Structure 1
Amino acid sequence: MELISSAERNQLFESFTRDAFHLELRDDYSVPDEDSPFASWLRGEVVDYSYMEPWTQLIRRVTAQGKTVRRVRVVTEPHTSYIQWEHATTALNEEAGEKIRWLPRLRLPKGTTFPMEGNDWWLYDDSLLAVGHFDPSGRVLGSELIEDPDTVVECVRLRDLLWSTAIPHPEYKL
């Protein structure tokens, strides 16, 4: 399996034309850029969120072009510290133009199964998947690109189901 880096995956935002959707299924992400801000947040210190600027600038640019960027975060309750922190920072994503919804695992529609071995994925324009792969400690290894029509159709179906079921960020209280 060939993996592309997170930077290469982010380049896909330059070429999609309508909609990018991210399904997040993990209760913790070990992202090196977030280690220090997360540790500061855990200690109750003021957090420097400047590490998010490349992402929020990208989202502002693509949403200003009329494109949609959405994500559903499927989470376990009670929440991990990481999910609590992620919830606290989500306003920055939404201010940039992302639409984010939350779905507690206990509220998943009955019989929901996750394609791609339960890995997170980005779906671009209902035609291209970038499936995230992680090492045992939760660090991102990269993304696998998939264009198989049957797999994409299943992910489109799941996206639509979860999006309609999930709770918009402003309404989801921890």
Structure 2
Amino acid sequence: MLKEYEHSAFRLETRDSYASPTEETAFQQFLAGESVDMGWFQNWLASIRATTANGRAFHRVRVVSVPLSDYVRFSLGVARLANEAGEDIRYVARQDAVDLPEFDYWLFDSRTVGKMHFDDVDTFLGVELIEDPAVVVELNYQRDAAWHRAIPRDDFAAEHIDEH
């Protein structure tokens, strides 16, 4: 799904849940208060480590509703592992994101957009690649606005959940 890129990839995530069959078991373990098996996530973590070791960057901002949904609380734990692997994931409360896009997108090297499409039950349908300069410039601006408002994952988690 990730487009090849030279320097940086940024993703804006705007949904409070994602229907992903690969993480469903882990999410159910989380909800049951059980130990969460993160085996399903290891390939992504290895990809982040390899990519960032080669000097490329992953940045992500998640726009979330407060109080947090169960899925967002689960994803905060997943994000901790991704951050440790080299991805910089930050959060912004939805009330502080009123003029940001209401759709998910990837921005590759500030010149190509991958607009994400989902159905009404949060299932990923596909990505639309966009290279129209006007759209790309606007979403670069939105990336910067989102990044400016977002706070690091650990700070956000400390404010909104007890991880101990």
2:17 aligned counterpart, secondary structure: coil
Paired with 1:96 and 1:153, the residues of 2 have a C-alpha distance of 29
Does structure 1 residue 106 correspond to structure 2 residue 95?
yes
- 2:145 aligned partner: 161
Shift in Å, 1:106:
1.4
Shift in Å, 1:113:
4.1
130, 135, 139: which one aligns with 2:123: 139
Paired with 1:107 and 1:121, the residues of 2 have a C-alpha distance of 19
Paired with 2:59 and 2:18, the residues of 1 have a C-alpha distance of 18
- 1:70 aligned partner: 59
Letter in 2 for 1:45: E
Distance change >3 Å, CA 113–CA 41, structure 1 → 2: closer
TM-score by length of 2: 0.93
10, 31, 45: which one aligns with 2:34: 45
Identity across matched positions, percent: 38
Paired with 2:140 and 2:70, the residues of 1 have a C-alpha distance of 30
Shift in Å, 1:45:
0.8
- 1:29 aligned partner: 18
1:32 aligned counterpart, secondary structure: coil
Paired with 1:161 and 1:51, the residues of 2 have a C-alpha distance of 32
- 2:86 aligned partner: 97
TM-score by length of 1: 0.88
Structure 2: unaligned runs, 5 residues or longer: none
Shift in Å, 1:142:
1.1
Does structure 1 residue 85 correspond to structure 2 residue 69?
no
Structure 1: unaligned runs, 5 residues or longer: 1-8
1:56 aligned counterpart, secondary structure: helix
Q: How many residues align?
A: 158
Does structure 1 residue 56 correspond to structure 2 residue 52?
no
Paired with 1:77 and 1:135, the residues of 2 have a C-alpha distance of 23
Letter in 2 for 1:85: F
RMSD value over aligned CA atoms?
A: 1.1
